[in-house]
Structure 1
Amino acid sequence: MQAHTLTPTEIFGNQVRHVVPLFQRPYVWNEQDQWAPLWEDVARVAEDVLTAPVGYGAPAVAPHFLGAIVLDQPAGPPGFLTMRQVIDGQQRLTTLQLMLNAAQRVAAQHGSTLHAQALQVLVRNQPEILQDPSEAYKVWPTDRDQDTFRAAMDGDGTLSAELAGSALVRGHDFFVRAIAEWSQVTGDPDKAAARLQALTQALRDHLKLVVIQLEPGDNAQVIFESLNSRGMPLLAADLIKNLVFQIAQARQLDVAGLYRKHWEQLDTDHWRLRVARGRQYVPRIDIFLHHWLITRTLREVPADRLYLSFKEHLPTPPDQLELPALLADLSRDAANYAALEQWPAGSAVGRFRYRVLQAMDSAVVTPVLLWLLRWTDQELPTVQRDKALAALESWLVRRALCRLTSKDINRLTLDLLRKLDETGPATAGDVTETFLAGQRADSRFWPSDDQVREALTTAPVYRTLLRARLRMVLEAVEEHRRTPKSEQPHCPRNLTIEHLLPQGWQTYWTAGLTEELATDRAALLHTIGNLTLVNNKLNPSMSNRPWTDEQAQSVGAADTGKLTELQKHTTLKINADIVLTAPHGWDVEQIRQRTAEFIERIIQIWPAPAVSAAVAALATAEKEKVPAGEVDEPEEESAPGQSIALTGKYRPLTDWLREQDAASLSVTFDELETVIGGPLAPSARTGSGYWYSQSNSLSKAIAAGGYQATRARLVDETVVLVRR
């Protein structure tokens, strides 16, 4: 390559056309970061020219260096213009053209014809030798910017709102205003002409660029990479795009065709928009490329090494790369990624996007979603795709609800991708479920039903779960409560989480208060059974009211109670249920029962695979050294409405309860073990949620005896059994 330091006159003075390849990024410079600092430098040089002594031996005006550009001379049809391809520096060259054209326009209006013509030759080629109207411009940008560049340079004053708002037009307008203000065109005409003359000389002869001219055999991409830190930092996507199309150009492929078919869709504001990724804001296209590279390489890709990871993924030498296939793969996954928000809310993909990627903020598993979406229905049956997504969603939600670590999800995602890649798409759902069910490490296991019950029964989820996650869980319970034929099967989004027993219950809820009741309220206040969703946040006076209208009126709080206010602010099924089950009051017993009901729905919404329940029971027995005979044995399920006939170890408890006449029985765990003739399951002593479950053997035995468990106290090892 050859490098020369040239002035704008030497770069643009001849009949020349600098063409920006269509695969380069669009114009992105702005006033704060580039236009204003550049103009300040140019204005300083013009001031030096204006005040410099004239005559033989006078010191020369110091030039200002604008940086480096890289040009290549591609082979092409013969013509009357010298053609140059801009490898690097297109932002700088384009901006220089905008400034030269702006100065020419101001000089033509307020200076002399001579100054305007001196600048005109630097921005326009002679019309007599042109074969195409676009050849009139000394710089011709990438196709996305051509209309706006032409509008900026021609300035006919009839621009559409879209063109007028483009960066190129705004940049040109900035330089026109700045030059007119500096030249003082509204003052003395002679003074303005003198200042415009100094500016013309500065622009033509006192700006310098290092022009690197490539020669045959030079690696344009290596030079491009070494200079990419100049000006506006390049996105990783820009570097990848240039590398890919430089390879395509070197192999004499149809660059324009490949670009328009596979990459043009990515050169839009939608993809360059910065969106949240954790605490950072990152261009959407770089986030997508990060996920895509993981699916392609099946290994961890550091977010700050996307371009290097992409290069390392390419075969050596690059001519072995099946470039059209690579671009087709990338554009297909990009289209799937862009279309995620278009999936119906009730579809497995739509649910996964909202619940996992958005509410759970678990974007780390996006590569799995992209892998599943890349196949046709024939390659990956829809039922298998949906099964895979449901399994991964259940695994993630259950671990979050159990407050288990998420530090290993990125490695688990890679292991799952490798397994899917090994087995192929046809059985992706079965493979995903089996893979997740087989994880045994603390950072990877799939929580069982009992573990979810234990975690949620007394957990203050309002404080321990992020609001978005907690809201999503309540929405899911509401949707599960609705019937399939409901006119609105999906819960509205962005509702407010409200406590049923108020956080400020001490204001009106002290009648009959005992120390034990106060303790129970404090323990259950933030549990899931005491939470609901409302359209708008209730103000404190409404939120803390007594429960019923009569109670509110009796203490002079208001005409209506909290239950009535809740009904005004929502039509959700989970709130309608409260009206039916607790029309007269709301307190700890109702909270416990609603918590147990919600937990059972959560278990149904996000089920664990059948194999995991048995595996978890055996693992628990082994861990706690409990004899195998003491692990709950599965019982036969009865049809709805029928009494449950048990034949397992809890049958004596059922028989004993059927003999009792009391409305409630307060018994100790030891007394129950005496009735049963053996030990309770370990979970009965470690998780109060076990007592409120409707699916384990102990609860079924109690229900078959006509009772249900309430007020299970693990500290005292007592439980109250109330007749159903």
Structure 2
Amino acid sequence: MQAHTHTPAIIFGHHIRYVVPLFQRPYVWNQDDQWQPLWDDVRTLTERLLDAPQPVYGAPPVPPHFLGAIVLDQQITPSGFIAARHIIDGQQRLTTLQLLLDAAQWVVEQHGADIDAQALKTLVLNDSTLTKHADHVFKVWPTDRDQDAFRAVMDNTVQLPPDPATSKIVQAHEFFVDQITEWADVTGDAAKVGARLNALVRALRDHLKIVAIDLEPGDNAQVIFETLNHRGSPLLAADLIKNLIFQLAQAEGADVHYLYNTYWKPLDSDYWRQLVAQGRRRRPRIDLFLNHWLTMKLLRGVAGDRVFTDFRDHVFTHRPAIADLLAELAADAQVYQQMENLAPDSIEGVFHYRVIRALDSAVVSPFLLWILRWSATDMPAQQRTKAITALESWIVRRALTRATAKDLNRMILDLLRALDNDGPARAGDTVETVLATQQAESRYWPDDRTLHRVLETQPIYKILTRPRMRMLLEALENSLRGPLGEGQACPRNLTVEHVMPQAWREHWGADIDGDHNATAERDQLVHTLGNLTLVNGKLNPTLSNRPWTDDDTATRGLAGGGKRAYLLRHSQLKLNAILVVQHEATWTEHDIRERTSKLVHRIASIWPRPAGAVRPQQPTSADATDDLVIHNDDDENEGATVASHTGKYRSLWRWLRQQSGNDISLSFAQVEQILDGPLPPSARNHLPHWYGYDGTALGRAIRDAGWKATHVNLIDEHVTFVQVSG
């Protein structure tokens, strides 16, 4: 490499073309990050020139301003053509500089001296009489996506694109014209305007400095492109991958223009560069696609910051034909784009909405991409449906029962490896078999009993996020409307409503006034599944806390009817139609429990689990959080501290009696595994229930086993048992 520091007058002062290779990214610089800072620097430099005294012989009046570096690759130019260099790095910088120079030239031509305007014109246009092609008049020539806009702003005789607001090239040029016009104060004194514009011309031509690095024969342009420190808008992983692919294609002598236009050009659209949410982060859509594509292709996890390096290693290791690689990428990119526009009532569209969006499980995207990339010939429709519905059931059931999601990424990788091994023809059988045979607690497919135990007792409204809660109720509504695709799907813009209101004390508390236990029970029940439904956003505030019936509403002096009447008149959901028909007079705790049980039965049918799926392995006390093992030895072998315990928590008493060590930490869910049933609601809301008071059966069972409960956390639902000495 040869590096030299040049001014714009030297870089652009002779007949030259700096060409952005077709495969580089489009122009992406913006006002806040690049245009405004550049103009601020140029304006400050110009004002220093205006204020500077006459220069001492041999010394510049003000220090120059450094703009950064560019890397150029000399191209073989046929005789009679203007010399050309490819911009390996720095195309954003050179393009912006040309836009600034041309904007300044236009303002100077309108309001300054002719000699100054001509001095800038030689830096933006070649002599048209020496060019073989009309576009060779431009000193810089961008990639194809930006050429129409660049041609329009750099040549005042060309009409602007139909929608200039969408072109950053047009926006940048207009920004610089506006800034220069305002700064020069063109409506003021002509002599002052001329002096200011003359200083600007001198600053732009002679007081900006750029390091130009010219590659020599044998220099690896791709390596240099990757390792240079980029100043400005950071390169996407996709930009690096694109550059690598087409550098290799160019080295092979392939038709780069054909490959780009056929396969990659659609990926340079704004759609693919849009930022989309990934958990708490936002990443360009194309980088997410490449991340998921690599995970699917390599059958291993790919960190977000290693997308390019892992792609490069894959290419250099397996040496795929570049045309075949591009064709595969382009085809899978179309599949990935379709994933976001699936029919909302299709099996695939429902999976995407429920799992990837509502449950925020983007980690399954490589799985869905693998499933959808196969044709119906390769993967029969029945097998595709089976694969998708099996994974949806597995994930939803685990989410509803609050099972850990920490192993989900590894589970997806195991599924991909199994699918890759078995092939697409039996994809559904493979997925169901793999999921149904998982025994680890972090991978177990929850059964119907677990669904009932959790959903019939837990305050699910507090446990699930609103998108998850809404998705669950929508699924219940859709199941009442009939099979997918056979009826109008439930709207997805509704809000979750408590039938018995959260603030039930206002109009619903007369029947239990003063009963502490009944009050605590109702506080728990109002957040359970059976008390929840969906309503539109306008109806929700109207329902508010009003009583259930019209008579109760009138008795309390409230205008309008009761909550039941509002649901009857204004809601078209089957969930609410069944609710109001079956409960004309009252809505009580008994009704909530009964409806909860019915809804859980329906949930089990919406997301079925194979009858042969195994139950989980359960941990030992040595590692209670991972390996809960429950023994059922005879009482005569249990030791002598307490001969027997006959309370309803006897299974916990027995289990604790069998443990060694000084302390054991368990989640509430693990305690329920030992009990083989749910904890009472009061155990989740009141600390004293865990301690050895005479009135708490749970506390007595713990005490009789020779242990005590400590560090009871009702928020995280966790308890530590400590063995009592002696």
Shorter-chain TM-score bucket reads: 0.7 to 0.9
List per-residue Cα deviations over 1:153-184 (Å, max 9, x = no partner). 12459535512442111111121122223323
Cα distance in structure 1, aligned partners of 2:567 and 2:229: 59
1:293-372 aligned within 5 A: 293-316=294-317, 320-372=319-371
The aligned residue for residue 29 of structure 2 is 29
Choose which of 681, 687, 690 in structure 1 pairs with 2:677. Answer: 687
- SS class of match (1:69): strand
Cα distance in structure 2, aligned partners of 1:211 and 1:55: 27
CA pair 228-427 structure 1, distance change in 2 beyond 3 A? farther
List per-residue Cα deviations over 1:44-67 (Å, max 9, x = no partner). 222333333336626313221111
Q: CA deviation at 1:142?
A: 0.3
- SS class of match (2:23): coil
- SS class of match (1:616): coil
List per-residue Cα deviations over 1:219-260 (Å, max 9, x = no partner). 101111122521111111111111111111111111111111
Cα distance in structure 1, aligned partners of 2:617 and 2:245: 54
1:198 matches 2:199: yes
Q: CA deviation at 1:593?
A: 0.9
The aligned residue for residue 120 of structure 1 is 121
Read off the aligned partner of 2:351 and give its amino acid letter.
F
The aligned residue for residue 473 of structure 2 is 474
**Contact kept in structure 2, 1:27 and 1:91, CA below 8 Å:** yes
Q: CA deviation at 1:618?
A: 10
Read off the aligned partner of 1:131 and give its amino acid letter.
K
Cα distance in structure 2, aligned partners of 1:669 and 1:45: 84
Bigger mean CA deviation after superposition, 363-372 or 9-18: 9-18
Read off the aligned partner of 1:327 and give its amino acid letter.
L
The aligned residue for residue 699 of structure 1 is none
**Contact kept in structure 1, 2:101 and 2:120, CA below 8 Å:** yes
The alignment's C-alpha RMSD in Å is 2.6
CA pair 511-42 structure 1, distance change in 2 beyond 3 A? closer
**Contact kept in structure 1, 2:126 and 2:139, CA below 8 Å:** yes
Cα distance in structure 1, aligned partners of 2:697 and 2:159: 79
Q: CA deviation at 1:588?
A: 0.9
Read off the aligned partner of 1:96 and give its amino acid letter.
L
1:394-543 aligned within 5 A: 394-484=393-483, 488-513=487-512, 515=515, 516-536=517-537, 538=539, 542-543=543-544
The aligned residue for residue 101 of structure 1 is 102
Q: CA deviation at 1:446?
A: 0.6
CA pair 481-715 structure 1, distance change in 2 beyond 3 A? farther
Bigger mean CA deviation after superposition, 422-431 or 219-228: 219-228
**Contact kept in structure 1, 2:65 and 2:207, CA below 8 Å:** yes
Read off the aligned partner of 2:152 and give its amino acid letter.
A
The aligned residue for residue 706 of structure 2 is none
Read off the aligned partner of 2:557 and give its amino acid letter.
G
Read off the aligned partner of 2:321 and give its amino acid letter.
E
Q: How many residues align?
A: 638
Q: CA deviation at 1:684?
A: 13
Cα distance in structure 2, aligned partners of 1:259 and 1:535: 48
CA pair 164-511 structure 1, distance change in 2 beyond 3 A? closer
The aligned residue for residue 11 of structure 1 is 11
- SS class of match (1:378): coil
Read off the aligned partner of 1:44 and give its amino acid letter.
T
Bigger mean CA deviation after superposition, 389-398 or 152-161: 152-161
Read off the aligned partner of 1:687 and give its amino acid letter.
G
List per-residue Cα deviations over 1:573-604 (Å, max 9, x = no partner). 11111122111110111111110110001000
Cα distance in structure 2, aligned partners of 1:182 and 1:74: 40
- SS class of match (1:426): helix
- SS class of match (1:4): strand
Cα distance in structure 2, aligned partners of 1:371 and 1:454: 35
Cα distance in structure 2, aligned partners of 1:178 and 1:559: 61
Cα distance in structure 2, aligned partners of 1:407 and 1:238: 32
- SS class of match (2:383): helix
The aligned residue for residue 261 of structure 1 is 262
**Contact kept in structure 2, 1:152 and 1:172, CA below 8 Å:** yes
Cα distance in structure 2, aligned partners of 1:312 and 1:204: 44
1:150 matches 2:151: yes
Taking structure 1 as the reference length, what is the TM-score of the superposition? Answer: 0.84
Bigger mean CA deviation after superposition, 222-231 or 298-307: 222-231
Bigger mean CA deviation after superposition, 494-503 or 59-68: 59-68
The aligned residue for residue 243 of structure 1 is 244
Cα distance in structure 1, aligned partners of 2:32 and 2:443: 48
Read off the aligned partner of 1:455 and give its amino acid letter.
V
CA pair 540-506 structure 1, distance change in 2 beyond 3 A? farther
CA pair 686-321 structure 1, distance change in 2 beyond 3 A? closer
Cα distance in structure 1, aligned partners of 2:47 and 2:343: 63
- SS class of match (2:425): coil
CA pair 204-485 structure 1, distance change in 2 beyond 3 A? closer
1:44 matches 2:34: no
**Contact kept in structure 2, 1:74 and 1:83, CA below 8 Å:** yes
**Contact kept in structure 2, 1:3 and 1:213, CA below 8 Å:** yes
CA pair 375-157 structure 1, distance change in 2 beyond 3 A? closer
The aligned residue for residue 136 of structure 1 is 137
Identity of aligned residues (%): 52
CA pair 626-572 structure 1, distance change in 2 beyond 3 A? farther
Read off the aligned partner of 1:508 and give its amino acid letter.
H
The aligned residue for residue 710 of structure 2 is none
**Contact kept in structure 2, 1:26 and 1:144, CA below 8 Å:** yes
The aligned residue for residue 687 of structure 2 is none
Q: CA deviation at 1:364?
A: 0.4
Bigger mean CA deviation after superposition, 358-367 or 255-264: 255-264
CA pair 619-236 structure 1, distance change in 2 beyond 3 A? closer
Read off the aligned partner of 2:460 and give its amino acid letter.
V
List per-residue Cα deviations over 1:202-230 (Å, max 9, x = no partner). 21122111111111111101111122521
1:147-226 aligned within 5 A: 147-156=148-157, 159-226=160-227
CA pair 133-683 structure 1, distance change in 2 beyond 3 A? closer
Stretches of 4+ aligned residues off by more than 6 angstroms: 617-620, 682-685, 713-716
CA pair 520-537 structure 1, distance change in 2 beyond 3 A? farther
Cα distance in structure 1, aligned partners of 2:88 and 2:493: 48
- SS class of match (2:351): helix
CA pair 135-379 structure 1, distance change in 2 beyond 3 A? same
Q: CA deviation at 1:487?
A: 7.5
Bigger mean CA deviation after superposition, 187-196 or 598-607: 187-196
Contiguous gaps of at least 5 residues in structure 2 = 620-627, 634-646, 650-671, 680-695, 700-726
Contiguous gaps of at least 5 residues in structure 1 = 628-667, 671-681, 690-712, 717-724
CA pair 104-512 structure 1, distance change in 2 beyond 3 A? closer
**Contact kept in structure 1, 2:149 and 2:160, CA below 8 Å:** no
- SS class of match (1:533): strand
Cα distance in structure 1, aligned partners of 2:287 and 2:410: 21
Read off the aligned partner of 1:304 and give its amino acid letter.
D
Cα distance in structure 2, aligned partners of 1:715 and 1:582: 36
Read off the aligned partner of 1:106 and give its amino acid letter.
V
Read off the aligned partner of 1:588 and give its amino acid letter.
E
- SS class of match (1:498): strand
Read off the aligned partner of 2:153 and give its amino acid letter.
A
Read off the aligned partner of 1:407 and give its amino acid letter.
K
Q: CA deviation at 1:616?
A: 2.6
Bigger mean CA deviation after superposition, 73-82 or 590-599: 73-82
Bigger mean CA deviation after superposition, 351-360 or 514-523: 514-523
Read off the aligned partner of 1:386 and give its amino acid letter.
T
The aligned residue for residue 230 of structure 2 is 229
Bigger mean CA deviation after superposition, 117-126 or 187-196: 187-196
1:282 matches 2:283: yes
CA pair 420-541 structure 1, distance change in 2 beyond 3 A? closer
List per-residue Cα deviations over 1:92-123 (Å, max 9, x = no partner). 11111111111111111111111111111111
